[in-house]
Amino acid sequence: MKKIIAAALGLSLALLSSAAFADGPKVGVVVKIGGIPWFNAMEAGIKEQSAKLGVQGFMVGPTSADPALQVRAIEDLIAQKVDFIGVVPNDAKVLEPVLKKAQDAGIKVITHESPKQAGATWDFELASAKGFGEAHGKLLAEKMGGKGSYAVFVGSLTVPLHNAWADGAISYIKANYPDMKLVGDRYGVAEDLDKSRSTALDLMSANADLKGFLAFGSQGPIGAGRAVEERRKDGKVFVIGPFSPGQGAKLIKSGALTGGFMWNPKLAGEVFITLADRIAKGQDPKAGDDIPGLGKINPDGNTIVVDQLLKIDKDSIDKLVSMGL
């Protein structure tokens, strides 16, 4: 019994030392959806950097990619009187009132994947929207041989960054590959694996010359890749987009998923905490600062943009998976 009590006491002290005894700011980060590999990696970054810097950092992951659930989560963090709220928005407009409420309560707001977000103290991006979109558009065009129809998926029609990536990719293809035709406009399904899969299946059935999918959203490439695999269109229909390497490794190796580019979501988690810690210490980001995870920065208003792209393909997939991504 004494051993059990001692072990329990040791565990309690360990938990207290990592949370209640942390003297840094309290930071709650609300992501798009919980329980998927991309945001699991982000949570690991949040936890590790919080422990390193003595910050009380934690992640909140809604059960679905519903803006209303993000609003509720942010309301809860305001009630908890946290010092900072981090957000990866599902709908930039829907969040504006609740982010203003947080600011009015004296809580600083840091966003990611939402440049120029109204209600944010700071926003950071690990890729420029134009460059990220163009890189994917160019890769799809190369794989398709510059001809045929393609479809575009985004997380939702109200996620500014996904749509900015889509704009960059579509504009690049229009300017350089006139024989490529966009099917429809874009489909807001890419944060839902099942909807991405079923939409891809429907589009392949309705368009005999469909040769590619550009999917911007963590589940879009996986869902479209599964649809291609089901139809045995590997090597005939190409799926390009950012995704979690661990989740997509089998599809990449089978050829059902072609590849894409990403940044490190674990690094993004670390940056949330790093920025909160610096700001709490009175070190507001400014041009020329060298910030861990971002490098030298040159903010545009309250938005910090750097380019840290990682290529995802058959050659890089095992290394990316070994990094915990």
Q: What residue ranges do the domains of the chain occupy?
A: 22-127+264-311, 129-262
Q: Decide if domain 129-262 falls under CATH 3.40.50.2300.
A: yes
The per-residue pLDDT string of the chain (325 residues; one tens digit each, 9 = 90 and over) reads 434 434 333 333 333 334 444 689 999 999 999 998 889 999 999 999 999 999 999 999 999 989 999 999 999 999 999 999 999 999 999 999 999 999 999 999 999 999 999 999 999 999 999 999 999 999 999 999 999 999 999 999 988 889 999 999 999 999 999 999 999 999 999 999 999 999 999 999 999 999 999 999 989 999 999 999 999 999 999 999 999 999 999 999 999 999 999 999 999 999 999 999 999 999 999 999 999 999 999 999 999 999 888 999 999 999 999 887 8
Residue 138 pairs with which residues in a beta bridge? Answer: none
Looking at residue 4, its pLDDT comes to 40
Q: What is the DSSP letter of 124?
A: E
What is the CATH superfamily name and number for domain 22-127+264-311? Response regulator (3.40.50.2300)
Looking at residue 22, its pLDDT comes to 63
Buried b (16+ CB within 10 A) or exposed e, 217-231: bbbbbbbbbbbbbee
* Dihedral pair phi/psi, residue 43, rounded to 5°: -65, -40
For β-strands 84-87 and 56-60, DSSP reports them as unpaired
Q: How many alpha carbons fall within 13 Å on the CB side of residue 76?
A: 13
Residue at token pair 């926003």: 123
Looking at residue 308, its pLDDT comes to 83
pTM (2 d.p.): 0.79
Same fold, 22-127+264-311 and 129-262: yes
